[in-house]
């Protein structure tokens, strides 16, 4: 994405890549030293990922576990800081292992610099990972990334 891409446009582009299961290109939207945080992560799940490589490792197997179909109810709120947005959305699809529906509500606070994600605080429901088939990171990644 060009450095003139607005934070809302970059975010929307990222969602399209996730729906296309193009994790490598989604990771490519990240700044080298970008930080992804999960303030509500349950025990054993990472709370902070530092750097593009850590984000890539975390997301590597996501499509093998969660088959996303849509992001309905997308609302992107611009803030007084033009580089930061607040996003409300749902991710819907199915859990690959069980075929059960996947329906997660998210709120994210995202900062973009030079056309790349630099900070992404993802406020997702930690109870959802208790569903069989929802865990998409391996146990060693979860415990070592905390």
Instruction: Report pLDDT digits (tens) over 105-122.
Output: 999 999 999 999 999 999
Q: What is the pLDDT of residue 131?
A: 56
Strands (E), the chain: 30-37, 48-50, 66-70, 75-78, 84-95, 101-113, 116-124
- Determine the pLDDT at residue 142: 37
Measured CA to CA, the distance from residue 46 to residue 142 in angstroms comes to 5
In the chain (146 residues long), the average pLDDT of successive 10-residue segments reads: 81 98 98 97 91 96 93 96 97 93 94 97 81 48 36
d(CA 4, CA 64): 33
> Which pLDDT value is given to residue 139?
37
Q: How far is Cα 125 from Cα 109, in angstroms, rounded to an integer?
A: 15
The pLDDT score that the predictor gives to residue 140 is 36
**0.95 surpassed by pTM:** no
Name beta bridge partners: 43. Answer: none
């Amino acid at each position: 994405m060009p450095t003139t891409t607005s934070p809302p446009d970059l975010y929307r582009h990222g969602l399209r890549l996730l729906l296309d299961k193009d994790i490598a290109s989604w990771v490519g939207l990240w700044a080298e030293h970008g930080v992804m945080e999960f303030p509500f992560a349950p025990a054993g799940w990472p709370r902070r990922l530092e750097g593009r490589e850590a984000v890539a490792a975390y997301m590597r197997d996501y499509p093998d576990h969660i088959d996303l179909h849509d992001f309905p109810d997308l609302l992107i709120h611009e803030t007084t800081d033009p580089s930061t947005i607040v996003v409300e959305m749902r991710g819907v699809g199915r859990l690959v292992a069980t075929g059960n529906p996947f329906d997660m509500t998210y709120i994210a606070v995202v900062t973009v610099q030079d056309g790349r994600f630099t900070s992404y605080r993802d406020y997702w429901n930690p109870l959802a990972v208790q569903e069989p088939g929802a865990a998409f990171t391996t146990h060693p990644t979860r415990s070592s990334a905390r």
